[in-house]
Amino acid sequence: MFKLFIGFVFALLISVSSTAQDTALPNNEQIEIPQVDRTLLLNEAVNALNASSFTKKTNAVNALVELKDPRILPILKGMRLGKLYSLKKNKTIVLAEKVEGGYQLTHAVTGSDLGIAKSNTIKKIRVNNKVRSALSKHIAILELTSSNTNERFLAAKNILSNPDEQLREVLVVAQKAEPTRKVKELISLIIARLDIQSSDENIRLNALRAMTGAVEPTVIQDIKKILEKDESGNYIEKSEVVTAMAEDKLSWIQTKLDWFKFCEDAIFGLSLGSVLLLAAIGLAITFGVMGVINMAHGEMIMLGAYTTFAVQQFFPSLMSYSLLIAIPMAFLVSGLVGVIIERTVIRHLYGRPLDTLLATFGISLILQQLVRVYNSNNVPVVTPDWMAGSLEINAALSFTYNRIYIFIFALMVLVGLALLLKKTLLGLQMRAVTQNRAMANSMGIRSGHIDALTFGLGSGIAGIAGVAVSQITNVGPNLGQSFIIDSFMVVVFGGVGNLLGTFFAAMGLGVVTKFLEPQVGTVVGKIMVLVFIILFIQFRPRGLFALKGRFVED
Amino acid sequence: MKKFIKKSGMALGATVLAFSAYATQAAETIKVGVLHSLTGTMAISETTLKDTVLMMIEEQNKKGGLLGKKLEAVVVDPASNWPLFAEKTRELLAKEKVDVIFGCWTSVSRKSVLPVVEELNGLLFYPVQYEGEESSKNVFYTGAAPNQQAIPAVDYLMSEDGGSVKRWVLEGTDYVYPRTTNKILEQYLLSKGVAKADISINYTPFGHSDWQTRVAEIKKFGSAGKKTAVVSTVNGDANVPFYKELANAGVSAQDIPVVAFSVGEEELSGFDTKPLVGHLAAWNYFMSVESDANAEFIKGWHTFIGDKKRVTNDPMEATYIGFNAWVKAVEKAKTTDVDTVREAMYGIKVPNLTGGIAEVLPNHHFTKPVLIGEIQADGQLEVVWETDGEVPGDAWTDFLPESAKIISNWQDKKINCGNYNTETKKCSGQNL
């Protein structure tokens, strides 16, 4: 009976509050609701989130936000992340966090700890993109006054893409209170986007001034809209001052965009180049220095990538450091496999390049199939948090962190390898053996050992390349296949037996590919690069940086 | 001549071998050919289907076989090598004398098998969603035709629930399936009033791994003030780098949703799906669908494969439907003779795994429900939209002018053709 009564009160309250909204009282009259009732109302509104369709859920979210209760932000955020569940027994809405042995539950409204529950006692409140968009919009408005600068920035960015005249007051207040310049500028842009719709010419002009130099796509769209013409070719915008200023701003923005586009292509190219460099640098040792056509080079990369996966599987708690652990591990695994291959197969085939080619091709198939027997699927390699996301320079220019790290890593590997070859005893012996085996032997170098170590080094470096590429591409049995051709291309183009040549070839090919790609498309771009290399090799058969000196065979 | 003698000698040897194998076999079996790549690029996807067929055969044998005989699987490995598909088909039909073949994944492998099954009058069940524009007398297409996957997916995105998308990027790998599908989709979008400037079509090579430029361009294309979506026919291996780049570049499903036609549970198990929540896939089956048949199928699969972590996917369901339909047709025809079974197939109804019924149509396609799912953090796909009931598969699309006038009907004796031109009233023969 009591329950019924409460229910009746709820219904009454909701109808009162909704009529209040519908009629939109002109004198900003607020209906005072006592604290207890607020909680009851909130409970009711939260329960409504567990609706049957996505449209109903979206409406429930909008209704919940209307309550203007400070407690809703965590609920909205939880719902966006798919952490909102309802208890099967009494439909209580809870926030659930996956823990050992089930889900840790907290009451969505009161925040009280409800202990750990089994997954079959709770039901997820599903959301789709539509609900998520509504949630993001409301979260952004609430977070515009957050104490965290980054949250405010993201909030402002979200609102910028779709500003709402009703938010003007909130925005003006937020703009005044904003301590950081970056966010303040964004909020000014949002207000400018609202102002540009104004019927007052001066307000529109001011809005345009505020848009100076902005490269946010939505803002550019606004400016372009002013310059739209009707069928007879006249501006729809009546004021000539406004169109003239819009023309001026737009041409300035266009110059800026062109420059950014150029930077973007160049950096994309260097990034592609660094991946090519990593893939090819091991081959520059085995093929370039030793002269072994190692078709199993790609599989060494694959082994390195799988090692990364294994490290992540064995030490799930060290996910952030998994790549750092994987680098030496991958070097050892691939290096060891390399040494074994050299000792068992390749050393019997020195001086017979065609036989080596066939033998290593066979080894590559064997390795692929071995991996496939273990698991024929791609395996998921996790990107650690510090490598995810992108560095946003401005709205038109951003670079993903994983590419930046790989670029730095590739340079480090190159420098490290160069130092090893030039400055260490091992490096000296390697160069001695490859340049003149008989002489090196007679100087007391055990050339057999050096061969094995050199091949192991090349393979090990392919292994650490595998750690890097596991962050940008799929890790599966075919991984090596997609790199082997590019690797040979780089080494041959750069000049066999020359690390610096490999570096310039990789970077050059990367940049050329990336400048061609937007112009002619990916497929044609790739073909053009291949044709270019074929022609180049015709005229300079020894590549970019040909070795000179008497030890070069003719 | 020497070659011929050598070849015939080999054939003779093989026949003798096969014969002796026959003799040691139990009196008589019904042979089921399994033509899926177990090595090479496509092994990733196709090995699972081989296992599915083996599981279905095992279950059928437990039920007492078919027509009182045991089923026997003949597994061959075409090794992701398209010409080898044709050779292995010939081996299955001419040498092994199989009664039916379950196989192929890529369209190019099916195209390579087609002349052989037609020449030797075999029966092939093809279990993968494909580009349509084909209907062979000797092939049953148990996967989705474009109108059972691509078109409804686009409809969903255009709807209010799907985000009222106005601008489209059609992103594909450069081969026959994406090219044909995108041709159909472009015509469809134009017919729905989408401006030509709002459609961007792009192709990348197989295994493309550097998606920086493409993703940056998609981002730019998507920032023109209109809601934009990507329709992806990007093939298997290139998907991981594509989605990784999308995630890192901050393209979220709320800004620019990507709907994929070749990414399912099996492919997602190779992804870290947390940054991809909300991107979409369109299929006729999802592992997450709650139905009794599905629960039983998943249980059976886990027992058969001995691994509780293995997922099920759409081509597996298509294999399941195809196998059951064939069994039912053989029982109806009381023989495994190809022509009789084929006649018996039309109108056969078998339950699918999502709680509905799949019916075999005279154009050798099936009726299927279309489901749109959103990727979840655990690698599963959750249904956010589905068609009311099943959609009949259409071999020739209605959205390309040259295909709209073509129909396929192998049941109607007056037509009895896979590509019958309704204007000239002529049949252009088999798909040779």
**In terms of DSSP bridges, do strands B100-103 and B124-126 run parallel, antiparallel, or are they unpaired?**
parallel
Alpha-carbon gap, residue A287 to A274, rounded angstroms: 19
Query: A-chain residues within 8 Å CB-CB of B249?
Result: 390, 398, 400
Contact A523 B204 (CB under 8 A): yes
Alpha-carbon gap, residue B97 to B120, rounded angstroms: 10
Please provide the average confidence, as pLDDT, over all residues in chain B.
88
Burial (0-12, 13-18, 19+ Cβ within 10 Å), A90: exposed
From A186, A214, A238, give the residue that closes a domain.
Answer: A238
Question: Which of B160, B209, B213 minimises the CB distance to A518?
Answer: B213
- pLDDT at residue B20, rounded to an integer: 46
- pLDDT at residue B77, rounded to an integer: 94
Q: Would you give the end-to-end CA distance of chain A in angstroms?
A: 102
What type of residue sits at position A189?
A: L
Residue A548 lies in a domain: no
Closest CA to A64 of A52, A51, A53: A51
Q: Chain B, 249-278: which have a CB under 8 Å from a chain A CB?
A: 249-250, 253-254, 257, 266-267, 269-273, 275, 277-278
Question: Which of A218, A381, A473 minimises the CB distance to B223?
Answer: A218
- pLDDT at residue B8, rounded to an integer: 52
Residue of A nearest to B379 (CA): A380
- pLDDT at residue A551, rounded to an integer: 54
Burial (0-12, 13-18, 19+ Cβ within 10 Å), A200: exposed
Residue A346 has pLDDT above 70, yes or no: yes
- pLDDT at residue B390, rounded to an integer: 93
Calculate what percentage of chain B has a pLDDT beyond 90: 62
| Structure tokens that stand for A60 in this block | 């429930």
- pLDDT at residue A13, rounded to an integer: 45
| Structure tokens that stand for B384 in this block | 């956010």
Residue A69 lies in a domain: yes
Contact A522 B208 (CB under 8 A): yes
Question: Which of B225, B271, B374 minimises the CB distance to A128?
Answer: B374
Alpha-carbon gap, residue B325 to B344, rounded angstroms: 10
Q: Select the residue from A222, A378, A475 to test the B interface by mutation, using most B Cβ atoms within 10 A.
A: A378
Residue of B nearest to A53 (CA): B384
Residues of chain B with CATH 3.40.50.2300: 28-143+295-368, 147-288+371-392
Alpha-carbon gap, residue A510 to A503, rounded angstroms: 11
Burial (0-12, 13-18, 19+ Cβ within 10 Å), A124: middle
Answer yes or no: do A460 and A492 share one domain: yes
Query: A-chain residues within 8 Å CB-CB of B240?
Result: 378, 473-474
Query: B-chain residues within 8 Å CB-CB of A369?
Result: 39
- Of A318 and A410, more confident: A410
The structural domain count of chain A equals 3
**In terms of DSSP bridges, do strands B406-409 and B417-421 run parallel, antiparallel, or are they unpaired?**
antiparallel
Query: B-chain residues within 8 Å CB-CB of A521?
Result: 202-203
What tens digit of pLDDT does each residue of B37-46 get? 988 778 778 8
Contact B203 A523 (CB under 8 A): yes
Q: What is the mean pLDDT of residues A475-499?
A: 87
Q: Name residues whose C-beta falls within 8 Å of residue B366's C-beta, 6 or more positions apart in sequence.
A: B140, B141, B142, B321, B325, B358, B359, B360, B393
Burial (0-12, 13-18, 19+ Cβ within 10 Å), A147: exposed
Query: A-chain residues within 8 Å CB-CB of B223?
Result: 217-218, 221
Query: A-chain residues within 8 Å CB-CB of B244?
Result: 383, 402, 471-473
Contact B210 A126 (CB under 8 A): no
Residue A245's pLDDT band (cuts 50, 70, 90): confident
| Cβ burial B113-132 (10 Å sphere, 16+ → b, else e) | bbebbbeeebbbbbbbbbbb
Residue A34 lies in a domain: no
Query: Following DSSP, what letter does each residue of A182-220 receive, concatenated?
Result: HHHHHHHHHHHHHHTT-S-HHHHHHHHHHTTT---HHHH
Tokens 């948090």 -> residue: A385
What type of residue sits at position B371?
A: L
Chain A contact present for B240, CB below 8 A? yes
Which run of H or E residues covers position B260?
strand B258-260
What tens digit of pLDDT does each residue of A110-122 get? 888 888 888 778 8
Answer yes or no: do A288 and A315 share one domain: yes
Alpha-carbon gap, residue A394 to A260, rounded angstroms: 10
Alpha-carbon gap, residue A244 to B243, rounded angstroms: 42
Chain B contact present for A376, CB below 8 A? yes
Question: Which of B214, B223, B244 minimises the CB distance to A472?
Answer: B244
Helix runs in B176-291, H state only: 176-191, 212-221, 239-248, 265-268
Q: Chain B, 348-377: which have a CB under 8 Å from a chain A CB?
A: 374, 376-377
Question: Which of B216, B257, B376 minimises the CB distance to A129?
Answer: B257
Alpha-carbon gap, residue A400 to A42, rounded angstroms: 41
Question: Which of A390, A474, A513 minimises the CB distance to B237?
Answer: A474
Alpha-carbon gap, residue B256 to B246, rounded angstroms: 10
Alpha-carbon gap, residue A290 to A431, rounded angstroms: 9
Nearest-neighbour CA in chain B from A484: distance (Å): 13
Q: What is the largest CA-CA distance in chain B?
A: 72
Answer yes or no: do A115 and A169 share one domain: no
What tens digit of pLDDT does each residue of B237-267 get? 788 889 888 888 888 888 899 999 988 888 8
**A134 touches A61 (CB < 8 A):** yes
| Structure tokens that stand for A181 in this block | 């310049």
Answer yes or no: do A127 and A153 share one domain: no
Query: A-chain residues within 8 Å CB-CB of B377?
Result: 82
Q: Name residues whose C-beta falls within 8 Å of residue A248's C-beta, 6 or more positions apart in sequence.
A: none
- Of B285 and A292, more confident: B285
Closest CA to A451 of A302, A328, A528, A350: A350
- pLDDT at residue A19, rounded to an integer: 41
Query: Following DSSP, what letter does each residue of A452-492 receive, concatenated?
Result: HHHHHHHHHHHHHHHHHHTTTS-BSTTTTHHHHHHHHHHHH
Answer yes or no: do A126 and A156 share one domain: no
Question: Which of B241, B245, B275 minimises the CB distance to A474?
Answer: B241
**A240 touches A205 (CB < 8 A):** no
Nearest-neighbour CA in chain B from A482: distance (Å): 7
Residue B422 has pLDDT above 70, yes or no: yes
Residue B111 has pLDDT above 50, yes or no: yes
Residue A246 has pLDDT above 70, yes or no: yes
Interface predicted TM-score (ipTM)? 0.78
Residue of B nearest to A375 (CA): B44
| Structure tokens that stand for B174 in this block | 């450069």
Look at residue B282 and give its three-state secondary structure: strand
Q: What is the mean pLDDT of residues B176-187?
A: 92
Residue A269 has pLDDT above 90, yes or no: yes
What tens digit of pLDDT does each residue of A147-201 get? 888 888 888 888 888 888 888 888 888 888 888 888 888 888 888 888 888 888 8
Residue A416 has pLDDT above 90, yes or no: yes
Nearest-neighbour CA in chain A from B353: distance (Å): 22
Contact B245 A472 (CB under 8 A): yes
| Structure tokens that stand for A418 in this block | 């160069």
Residue A12's pLDDT band (cuts 50, 70, 90): very low
Nearest-neighbour CA in chain B from A275: distance (Å): 9
Nearest-neighbour CA in chain A from B132: distance (Å): 25
Query: A-chain residues within 8 Å CB-CB of B253?
Result: 129, 132
Residue A462's pLDDT band (cuts 50, 70, 90): very high
Burial (0-12, 13-18, 19+ Cβ within 10 Å), A46: buried
Contact B213 A265 (CB under 8 A): yes
Residue A142 lies in a domain: no
Which run of H or E residues covers position A98?
strand A93-99
What tens digit of pLDDT does each residue of B320-356 get? 999 999 999 999 999 999 999 999 999 999 999 999 9
Of A18-22, A284-288, A323-327, B364-368, where does mean pLDDT reach its minimum?
Answer: A18-22
- pLDDT at residue B34, rounded to an integer: 97
Contact A272 B210 (CB under 8 A): yes
What tens digit of pLDDT does each residue of B66-102 get? 999 999 999 999 988 999 999 999 999 999 999 999 9
Query: B-chain residues within 8 Å CB-CB of A305?
Result: none
Question: Which of A128, A400, A473 minimises the CB distance to B240?
Answer: A473
- pLDDT at residue A216, rounded to an integer: 84
- pLDDT at residue A553, rounded to an integer: 53
Composition of chain A by helix, strand, coil, percent to 5: 70, 5, 25
Q: Chain A, 13-72: which have a CB under 8 Å from a chain B CB?
A: 54-55
Question: Which of A383, A474, A482 minimises the CB distance to B270?
Answer: A474
Answer yes or no: do A501 and A414 share one domain: yes
**Secondary structure letter of residue A554 according to DSSP:** -
Residue B431 has pLDDT above 80, yes or no: no
Query: A-chain residues within 8 Å CB-CB of B257?
Result: 129
Question: Which of B213, B253, B269 minimises the CB distance to A517?
Answer: B213
Residue A25 has pLDDT above 70, yes or no: no
Residue A26 has pLDDT above 50, yes or no: no
| Structure tokens that stand for A263 in this block | 């930077």
Of A89-98, A259-268, A297-306, B52-61, where does mean pLDDT reach its minimum?
Answer: A89-98
Alpha-carbon gap, residue A378 to A399, rounded angstroms: 26
Answer yes or no: do A100 and A172 share one domain: no
Question: A101 lies in which domain range?
Answer: 44-132
Answer yes or no: do A116 and A215 share one domain: no
Phi-psi region of A185 (alpha: psi -120 to 50; beta: other; left: phi over 0): alpha
- pLDDT at residue B19, rounded to an integer: 47
Burial (0-12, 13-18, 19+ Cβ within 10 Å), A285: buried
What tens digit of pLDDT does each residue of B10-35 get? 555 444 444 444 444 445 899 999 99
Nearest-neighbour CA in chain B from A382: distance (Å): 6
Answer yes or no: do A128 and A165 share one domain: no
Residue of B nearest to A134 (CA): B254
What type of residue sits at position B86?
A: A
Q: Select the residue from B254, B272, B276, B309 to test the A interface by mutation, using most A Cβ atoms within 10 A.
A: B254
Helix runs in B159-312, H state only: 176-191, 212-221, 239-248, 265-268, 292-305
- pLDDT at residue A436, rounded to an integer: 82
Answer yes or no: do A228 and A299 share one domain: no
Nearest-neighbour CA in chain A from B158: distance (Å): 13
- Of B56 and B41, more confident: B56
Q: What is the mean pLDDT of residues A346-358?
A: 87
Residue A367's pLDDT band (cuts 50, 70, 90): very high
**A495 touches A321 (CB < 8 A):** no
Chain B contact present for A472, CB below 8 A? yes
Residue A237's pLDDT band (cuts 50, 70, 90): confident
Q: What is the CATH number of domain B147-288+371-392?
A: 3.40.50.2300
Contact B240 A132 (CB under 8 A): no
Nearest-neighbour CA in chain A from B39: distance (Å): 7
Query: B-chain residues within 8 Å CB-CB of A514?
Result: 212-213
Please provide the average confidence, as pLDDT, over all residues in chain A.
85
User: CATH says B28-143+295-368 is which class?
Assistant: alpha beta
Reading across the β-sheet that carries B124-126, which strands appear in turn?
Answer: B70-76, B29-35, B100-103, B124-126, B139-141
Alpha-carbon gap, residue A239 to A248, rounded angstroms: 15
Residue of B nearest to A516 (CA): B213
- pLDDT at residue A369, rounded to an integer: 86
Chain B contact present for A136, CB below 8 A? yes
- pLDDT at residue A550, rounded to an integer: 57
What tens digit of pLDDT does each residue of A437-452 get? 888 889 998 988 998 9
Contact A378 B44 (CB under 8 A): yes
Closest CA to B123 of B105, B106, B107, B101: B101
Residue A183 lies in a domain: yes
Residue A144 lies in a domain: no
